Amino acid sequence: MLNLMYITNHPEIAQIAESAGVNRIFVDLEYIGKADRQGGMDTVQSHHTFSDVKMVSEAITVAELLVRVNPIHEATRAYCSSKEEVDTVISNGADIVMLPYFKTVKEVDRFLSLVDNRAKTMLLVETPEAVEAIDRILALGNIDFVHIGLNDLSLGYGMKFMFELLADGTVEKLCAKFHDRGIPYGFGGIASVGKGTIPAEMIIKEHYRLGSTCAILSRSFCNTEQIKHLGVISTMFLNGIKEIRELEMNCKLHFDYFAENKAELKRIVESIIR
């Protein structure tokens, strides 16, 4: 089954998500340069902190704690260095450290050196430059997981719609490279079953067709900025994850419908971008 990830810095929400079956709680420290490249878009731009990492780490017992740090950078008056950032999140309880928005082999090599096997590593492939250099990046070794960031990668290619990357074969080609290296991988996010511009069930079927092992539960799965009642949030998580798991069981039993699903997804994407 897919490792499901949910972004939150609230310990009580993390516990609800964990109890409902979320595999990884995702604390997001990335902010350097993010507003500039995603300015004006309806995207999630978190403002999580080092103390959030520690609080969430202490709140969960089964789920892994995934922390996205900033792209590789030196210290300025506004923020600490990548070294201090990585050291702090690991000491505060991160099980997996994610590097976003890298473009070069040198940046990834620096990141792996900073983590130094003290936590698992995850690369977030979300620039055309990273795609171009991916073979050399994967050859570095010590990469535990890879995730493809559809939103920023589609922006980098000047696309109108992030799921064009599924329709045009870009995600499939990258997944094949990760598979050949034996590195677990995933891509994008998913909404609740029955929801999403591209229905979540179609995206989940693509995860299975491509051998993906993880996905982020998107903001639309449960938007805790709009829904405040913990009982309602708990019910949404329990029901939503139950529906995803039931669909996954169906995926395992009916491999024959993946080709049809791929063709239908491509048709929907093309109708959206026309």
What whole-number distance in Å separates Cα of residue 262 and Cα of residue 274?
19
CATH code for position 161: 3.20.20.60
pLDDT at 156: 96
pLDDT at 258: 83
pLDDT at 47: 82
User: Smallest Cα–Cα separation from 14: which of 57, 50, 69, 68?
Assistant: 57
Give pLDDT tens digits for 97-111: 999 999 999 999 999
3-state secondary structure of 16: helix
Interhelix angle 11-20/230-253, nearest 10 degrees: 30
pLDDT at 35: 67
Other CB atoms within a 10 A radius of the CB of residue 40 amount to: 6
First to last CA, the chain: 35
pLDDT at 46: 67
Other CB atoms within a 10 A radius of the CB of residue 202 amount to: 17
User: Of the ranges 34-43, 62-71, 225-234, which one carries the lowest mean pLDDT score?
Assistant: 34-43
Instruction: Read off the pLDDT of each residue in 5-23 and give the average, rounded to a whole number.
Output: 98
Q: Is the pLDDT of residue 274 over 90?
A: no
Give pLDDT tens digits for 131-174: 999 999 999 999 999 999 999 999 999 999 999 999 999 999 99
- Contact between 54 and 67 (Cβ < 8 Å): no
Give the domain extent around 8: 3-273
User: Smallest Cα–Cα separation from 246: which of 194, 184, 188, 197?
Assistant: 194
Q: Is the pLDDT of residue 209 over 70?
A: yes
Ramachandran angles phi, psi of 65, nearest 5°: -100, 115
Q: Is the pLDDT of residue 179 over 70?
A: yes
What whole-number distance in Å separates Cα of residue 167 and Cα of residue 63?
32
Mean pLDDT of the chain: 93
The highest-confidence range among 41-50, 57-66, 77-86, 255-264, by mean pLDDT, is 57-66
- Enter the DSSP assignment of 222: -
| pLDDT-above-90 percentage for the chain | 84
pLDDT at 162: 94
**Beta strands of 69-181 (E only): which ranges?**
96-99, 120-125, 145-148
Domain count, the chain: 1
